């Protein structure tokens, strides 16, 4: 259930409404807009049946939320969520591009990649310290050493760091080095991990599972938000279908559907969706046209020698071309592409 206040509702009115709801045994969630405030009621709504909510001062409407996901629902917020990250915000006018190697392989390659993508407008450095691989014999990352390299590169480049956390036992360690915690497709329904990252005040980038419906994705986001972390970024990265011409099938329709269902920002990962460097450009353009708030792109100084996902990684020149080519598509969607390196060296997220 949500309670929408009047435009003239005072802070005292809102406090009294919350007190009545919480006295009935429910929790409240506040979302403040320019003209009104939305008060979300979380818990057993039957307990509010005898509470005269509509007669309380400051109440304009009382509405049921029929979706199984409450906190992530569009009706639960007064407007789209914008997540601060470094000198920009995810979900704002600027398209946020997170770029970097699939795996952290060493200091020199990470430093050169960060410098190259920052110069072209990337607003965050992506890179895996812990890598979930289908084969146990594949390179699975440098672990804690990789995290230290990411943190060092952040201080040199000014780019916030996005990296994956795979286990509940890693959450505090990764959060101590990263600005955004990524939950990968294979862990989208690892509910213990989702709850744990929800307790950490870092933005969480949640990738859609390979066989997950959008309802599954939003309920996974609900697990994170239910622990008190409202800063969830949804990521469409392709799903598994019968088609084998691409690594995954990029579900471009998921982007406008999610934008209609939730207030959370939505990003796209064209690298994992296509699995080929030559598909990253077309899929990126499709994502922006569909309304994506940002992109996650794999970039490597020498893709043929990459220890993981070299086939889908862009060279520095290919990334430069991509960023230039996307500018008119962003403008057509009413957005803008970032230009040049970040203007601020303050890279830790305010959520931390």
pLDDT band at 289 (very low <50, low <70, confident <90, very high): very high
Clarify whether residues 290 and 241 are in a common domain.
Answer: yes
Same structural domain, 213 and 261 = yes
Residue at 326 is within a domain: yes
The verdict on residue 351 lying in a domain is no
If asked whether residues 284 and 199 sit together in one domain, one would say yes
**Domain identity same for 60 and 196:** no
Ranking 280-289, 306-315, 316-325 by mean pLDDT, the lowest is: 306-315
The reply to whether 237 and 327 lie within a common domain is yes
pLDDT (tens digit per residue) in 108-128? 999 999 999 999 999 999 999
Asked if the structure places residue 70 within a domain, the reply is no
**CA 146, 150, 155, 160: dihedral to nearest 10 degrees?**
-160
Mean local confidence (pLDDT), 295-311: 95
Give me the pLDDT at residue 350, please: 37
CATH code for the domain of 55: 3.30.70.1140
pLDDT at 137: 67
24 and 135, same domain (yes or no)? no
* CATH number of domain containing 188: 3.20.20.70
Q: In the prediction, which pLDDT does 133 show? A: 67
Looking at the domain assignment, is residue 69 inside a domain? Answer: no
Domain housing 36: 2-64
**Is position 156 within any domain?**
yes
Residues 97 and 151 in one domain: yes
pLDDT in tens, 318-338: 999 999 999 999 999 999 999
> Which among 184, 185, 163 has a CA at the least distance from the CA of 174?
163
73 domain-assigned: no
Total tally of structural domains belonging to the chain: 2
Contact 60, 8 (CB under 8 A): no
Please give the mean pLDDT across all residues of the chain. 92
Give a yes or no: residue 34 inside a domain. yes
54 with 105, same domain: the answer is no
Q: pLDDT-derived band of residue 210, with 50, 70 and 90 as boundaries?
A: very high
Q: What is the pLDDT of residues 30-46, one digit of tens each?
A: 888 878 899 988 888 88
Say yes or no: 126 and 29 in one domain.
Answer: no
At residue 346 the predicted structure's pLDDT band, cuts being 50, 70 and 90, is very low
Does position 276 have pLDDT exceeding 90, yes or no?
Answer: yes
Q: Is 133 found in the same domain as 43?
A: no
Burial class (CB in 10 A: 0-12, 13-18, 19+), 317: exposed
Region 85-98: mean pLDDT is 95
Shared-domain flag, residues 27 and 95: no
Distance CA 200, CA 268 (A): 24
Banded model confidence at residue 64, pLDDT cuts 50, 70, 90 = confident
Which of left, alpha, beta for 103 (phi over 0: left; psi -120 to 50: alpha)? Answer: beta
How far is 90 from 173, CA to CA, in rounded Å? 24
pLDDT at 352 (0 to 100) = 42
Q: Clarify whether residues 50 and 99 are in a common domain.
A: no
Burial class (CB in 10 A: 0-12, 13-18, 19+), 332: exposed
Other C-beta atoms lying within 10 Å of the C-beta of residue 54: 10
Query: What's the pLDDT at 344?
Result: 54
Query: What share of the chain has pLDDT > 70, as a percent?
Result: 96
């Amino acid at each position: 259930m949500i309670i929408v206040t009047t435009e003239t509702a005072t802070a005292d009115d809102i406090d009294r409404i919350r007190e009545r709801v919480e006295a009935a045994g429910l929790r409240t969630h506040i979302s403040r807009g320019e003209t009104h405030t939305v008060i979300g009621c979380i818990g057993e709504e039957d307990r509010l049946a005898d509470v005269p909510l509509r007669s309380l001062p400051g109440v304009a409407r009382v509405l049921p939320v029929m979706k199984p996901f409450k906190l992530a629902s569009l009706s639960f917020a007064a407007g789209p969520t914008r997540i601060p990250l470094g000198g920009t915000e995810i979900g704002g006018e600027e398209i946020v591009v997170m770029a970097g190697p699939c795996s952290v392989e060493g200091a020199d390659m990470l430093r050169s990649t960060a410098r190259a993508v920052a110069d072209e407008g990337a607003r965050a450095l992506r890179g895996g310290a812990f890598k979930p691989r289908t084969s146990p014999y594949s390179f699975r990352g440098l672990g804690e050493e990789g995290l230290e390299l990411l943190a060092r590169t952040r201080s040199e480049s000014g780019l916030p760091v996005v990296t994956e956390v795979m286990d509940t036992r890693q959450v505090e360690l990764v959060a101590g080095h990263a600005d955004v915690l990524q939950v990968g497709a294979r862990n989208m329904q690892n509910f213990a991990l989702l709850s744990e990252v929800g307790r950490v005040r870092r933005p969480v980038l949640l990738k859609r599972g390979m066989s997950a419906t959008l309802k599954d994705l939003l309920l996974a986001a609900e697990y994170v938000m239910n622990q008190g972390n409202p800063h969830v970024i949804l990521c469409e990265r392709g799903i598994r279908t019968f088609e084998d011409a691409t690594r995954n099938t990029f579900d471009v329709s998921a982007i406008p559907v999610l934008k209609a269902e939730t207030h959370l920002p939505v990003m796209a990962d064209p690298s994992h969706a296509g699995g080929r460097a030559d598909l990253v450009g077309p899929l990126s353009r499709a994502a922006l046209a569909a309304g994506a708030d940002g992109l996650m792109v794999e970039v490597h100084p020498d893709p043929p020698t990459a220890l993981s996902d070299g086939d889908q990684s862009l060279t520095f020149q290919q990334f430069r071309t991509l960023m230039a080519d996307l500018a008119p598509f962003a403008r057509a969607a009413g957005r803008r592409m970032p230009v040049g390196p970040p203007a601020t060296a303050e890279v830790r997220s305010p959520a931390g």
